[in-house]
Amino acid sequence: MKTRTTTQLVPHTIDGKTRLVPANVETPAPPRDWDHIVLTGVTGIAALVLAASVVWSTASIGDLLARAVIEPAAYGAAIVFDLAWIACMAVEWLARYDEDRARLPRRAGTVALIVAMLAIGAHGKITGFWEIGIVGALVSALAKGLWTVVLRHQTPPLDDLTRAWIRGELADAGAGLALIPVRRQLQRAQAQVDAERAALADPDQSGQSADDPDTDPQPTAKGPMTVKDAVRTAKDSGITDPDAVLRYVHKVADANAKPETVARYLRLAG
C-alpha cells in the first residue's frame, strides 16, 4: 500500500502536561483521482482551443475591418466579436443553478457567436478564399461547443423543487441587498426634512431672539398668541407694514418682542 507523509497535530506529554504539536505522520495515500485528472486535461484543451479561436477570429475580422479603418481600431473592434460570446458564456456559468436566468445569456451568446462566424465568413469571401472563411468560422463554433460541453458537465443536476428553493433563497438575499440603497435614500431624505424643519422652527416660543445682546432679564407681557402666530394673523389681516406688525405683536403677544424677530417671521410668512 502506498503511503504519504503528512504533518498532523499529535498529543505530546511532558511532566504530565499534554500539548498538540505538529509531527510528520505516514498515512495511506488516496487512490489517484482519474476523473479529476481527465477533467483538468479537458479544461486545458478547451482553454487552448478558445485561445486559438480568439487569435484566428481577431486576425480574420481585423483584416476585414482594416480595409475601412486604421489597423489598431480594426483589430480592437475585431476582438469584441469573440469577447461578447465568451462573456455571455461566463454569465451562463454563473447562473447555472437557475435555468431561467441562464437562458438569456445562452441565447445572447449564440447570437454573438453567429455574428462572429458571419464576419469570418465574409472575410473569406472578400479575400477570394471562401473555403477558408467557412473553416475559420467553424473554429469559433467548435470552441464554444467544447466549452459548452465542459461547463454542462460540471453543472450539477437539480430537480424542480430544489431549483425553486434556491430561487427563493436568492430572492431573499436580493431583497436584503435592494433595501440597502433604499434605506440610505430614506435616511438622506429624512435628514433633509429634519434640517428644513430645524431651519424654520421658532428660536423660542416667547419671541426672544437667541442672539439677544441684553443680558439682564426683561419683564414680558404675553398675550394669548405667540410672536409667530401674531405675525401670521397680522399678515392674514392685510397688515404688511413692519412697524404696524410690530405694534400689533407688542399688543397681543409679547411686549418685548424684538423688531428683527418680527421681521424674520414676517419674511417667512411671505
User: In this predicted structure, what is the pLDDT of residue 221?
Assistant: 40
Backbone angles phi, psi at 21, to 5 degrees: -125, 150
Would you state the cell numbers that stand for residue 194, as one nine-digit string? 429634519
**Cα atoms in the Cβ-side hemisphere of radius 13 Å centred on 31:** 3
Closest C-alpha among 147, 39, 40, 44 to residue 89: 147
Are the C-beta atoms of residues 237 and 230 closer than 8 Å to each other? no
User: In this predicted structure, what is the pLDDT of residue 78?
Assistant: 93
Identity (one letter) of the amino acid at 94? L
Q: What is the DSSP letter of 98?
A: -
User: In this predicted structure, what is the pLDDT of residue 214?
Assistant: 45
Beta strand spans in the chain (E)? 3-14, 17-28
Write the CA distances from 47 to 36, 99, 154, 253, 262, integer angstroms: 16, 25, 15, 86, 80
What DSSP letter does each residue of 220-270 carry, written as one string?
--B-SS-HHHHHHHHHHTT---HHHHHHHHHHHTBTT--HHHHHHHHHHH-
Would you state the cell numbers that stand for residue 30, as one nine-digit string? 488516496
State the CB neighbour count (10 A cutoff) for residue 227. Answer: 28
User: In this predicted structure, what is the pLDDT of residue 224?
Assistant: 59
Three-state SS for 51?
helix
Closest C-alpha among 152, 171, 173, 169 to residue 93: 152
User: In this predicted structure, what is the pLDDT of residue 9?
Assistant: 87
From the CA atom positions of the chain, what is the Rg in Å? Answer: 40
User: In this predicted structure, what is the pLDDT of residue 164?
Assistant: 87
Please, which residues have CB within 8 angstroms of residue 71's CB and are 6 or more apart in sequence?
A: 62
Distance from C-alpha of 145 to C-alpha of 126, rounded to nearest angstrom: 27
User: In this predicted structure, what is the pLDDT of residue 77?
Assistant: 93
The partner residues of 254 in beta bridges, in order of sequence, read: 222
Distance from C-alpha of 35 to C-alpha of 11, rounded to nearest angstrom: 37
Are the C-beta atoms of residues 202 and 228 closer than 8 Å to each other? yes
Q: What is the DSSP letter of 31?
A: P
Q: Chunk the chain into consecutive blocks of 10 residues (it has 270) and report each block's average pLDDT, rounded to whole numbers.
A: 81 89 84 88 93 93 92 93 94 87 92 94 90 91 92 84 86 88 86 75 48 41 67 80 83 82 80
Are the C-beta atoms of residues 225 and 246 closer than 8 Å to each other? no
Are the C-beta atoms of residues 144 and 105 closer than 8 Å to each other? no
